[in-house]
A and B are shown apart, each in its own frame.
Chain A
Amino acid sequence: MRYNPVTEEILAELKEIVGEKNVLSEKEKIEAYSHDETPKEKYARMPEVVVKPSSTEEVQSVVKLANRELIPVTPRGAGSGLSGGAIPEHGGIVLSVENMDEVIEYDFDNMMMVLQGGVITNNVQEDLAEEGLFFAGYPMSLESCFIGGNIAENAGGGKAVKYGVTGRYVMGMEVVLPTGEVMELGGKRVKDVTGYDLKKLMIGSEGTLGIVTETTIKLLPKPTKEVALLVLFDDPDTAISTVPKIMTETGIIPTGIEFMDRRSVQASCEYLNEHLPYQDCGAMLLIEVDGAEEEQVENDYFKIGEICEENGAQEVYVADNHTTRERVWDVRRNIAEAFMVVSPEQSLEDIVVPIASIPDLIPELDKLSEKYDIQIPCYGHAGDGNLHATLVKNPEHSMEEWYEIEEKCLEDMYEVTYKLGGTISGEHGIGSKRKKYFPDAVSETELELMKKIKKAFDPNNIMNPGKIFDLD
Chain B
Amino acid sequence: MKIITPIKQVPETSNVKMDEETGTMVRDGVESIINPLDLYAIEAAIELKEEHGGEVIAVTMGPPSAEKAIKEAIAMGCDDGILLSGREFAGADTWATAYTLSRCIDDIGDYDLIFCGLQATDGDTAQVGPGIASFLDLPLATYVSSIEDVHIADDTTYTEPDENYIELERLLEEGYEKLRMPLPALITVVKEINFPRLPTLSGKRKARDKDVTPKNSEHIEMKEEYLGLQGSPTRVVNIDRPKVTRGGKMIDARDESKQEEAVEELINYLNANELL
Cβ of B259 to closest chain A Cβ, rounded Å: 20
Q: Is the CB–CB distance between B14 and A316 below 8 Å?
A: no
Q: Any chain B CB within 8 A of the CB of A189? A: no
Q: Is A229 an interface position by the 8 A CB rule? A: yes
Instruction: Give the docked Cα–Cα distance between A229 and B75 (Å).
Output: 14
Q: Does B24 contact A (CB under 8 A)?
A: no
- Interface residue? B210 (CB, 8 A): no
Cβ–Cβ < 8 Å partners of A305 in chain B: 201
A106 contacts the other chain (Cβ, under 8 Å)? Answer: no
Is A321 a contact of B33 with CB atoms below 8 Å? Answer: yes
Quick check: A319 and B198 within 8 Å, CB to CB?
Answer: yes
Q: Which residue of B lies closest to A294 (CB)?
A: B68
Closest-CB distance, A227 to chain B (whole angstroms) = 10
Which residues of the partner chain B approach A308 to less than 8 Å between Cβ atoms?
201
Tell me if B204 is interfacial: C-beta within 8 Å of chain A: yes
Q: Is B33's CB under 8 angstroms from A317's CB?
A: no
> How far apart are the CA atoms of A328 and B198 in the complex, in Å?
9
Q: A361 → chain B, closest Cβ, in Å?
A: 28
Interface residues on A, range: 20 to 34
A302 within 8 A of B: yes
| Shortest distance from the beta carbon of B149 to any chain A beta carbon, whole Å | 22
Task: Identify which of B14, B31, B201, B208 contacts A309 (C-beta below 8 A).
Answer: B201
B205, CB-defined interface residue at 8 Å:
yes
Q: Which of A298, A316, A321, A328 contacts B12 (CB 8 A)?
A: A321
Q: Which residue of B lies closest to A227 (CB)?
A: B204
Q: Please determine whether A322 and B15 come into contact, CB atoms closer than 8 angstroms.
A: yes
A-contact bits for B179-220, CB 8 A (1 contact / 0 none): 000000000000000010111111111001000000000000
Q: In the complex, what distance in Å separates the CA atom of A308 from the CA atom of B199?
A: 16
Chain B residues with Cβ below 8 Å from A309 are 201
The interface residues of chain A lying within 8 Å CB-to-CB of B15 are: 322
Residues of B within 8 Å of A, CB-based: how many? 19
Whether the pair B14, A318 counts as a contact (CB closer than 8 A) is no
For A301, the chain B residues whose CB sits under 8 A away are 201
Query: Is A193 engaged at the interface, CB distance under 8 Å to the other chain?
Result: no
**B interface footprint on A263-281 (CB within 8 Å = 1, 0 otherwise):** 0000000000001100000
Q: Which residues of A contact B31 (CB under 8 A)?
A: 321-322
Query: With A302-B204, A302-B205 in contact, do A322 and B198 touch (Cβ < 8 Å)?
Result: no
A31 an interface residue at 8 Å Cβ cutoff?
A: no
Q: Would you call A323 and B12 a contact (CB within 8 A)?
A: yes
Check if A316 sits within 8 Å of B200, measured CB to CB. yes
Closest Cβ–Cβ distance, residue B120 to chain A (whole Å): 15
Q: Is B14 within 8 A of A230, CB to CB?
A: no
Which of A230, A298, A319, A320 gathers most chain B CB within 10 Å?
Answer: A320
> How far, in angstroms, from A114 to B156 measured CA to CA in the complex?
71
Residue in A298, A306, A315 whose beta carbon sits within 8 Å of that of B200 in the complex: A315
Is the pair B12, A318 in contact by a Cβ cutoff of 8 Å? no
Q: Which of B36, B198, B203 has the most CB of A within 10 A?
A: B198
Measured CB to CB, the closest approach of chain A to B122, in angstroms, equals 14
Residues of B within 8 Å of A229, CB to CB, are 201
Give B13-39 interface residues, CB cut-off 8 Å to A.
Answer: 14-15, 29, 31, 33, 36
Binding site for B on A (CB under 8 A): 224, 229-230, 275-276, 298, 301-302, 305-306, 308-309, 315-324, 326-328
In the complex, 24 of the A-B residue pairs with CB atoms within 8 angstroms, ordered by the A residue number, are: A224-B29, A229-B201, A230-B198, A275-B195, A276-B198, A298-B208, A302-B201, A302-B205, A306-B201, A308-B201, A316-B202, A317-B199, A317-B200, A318-B75, A318-B203, A319-B198, A320-B199, A321-B33, A322-B12, A322-B33, A323-B12, A323-B14, A323-B33, A328-B198
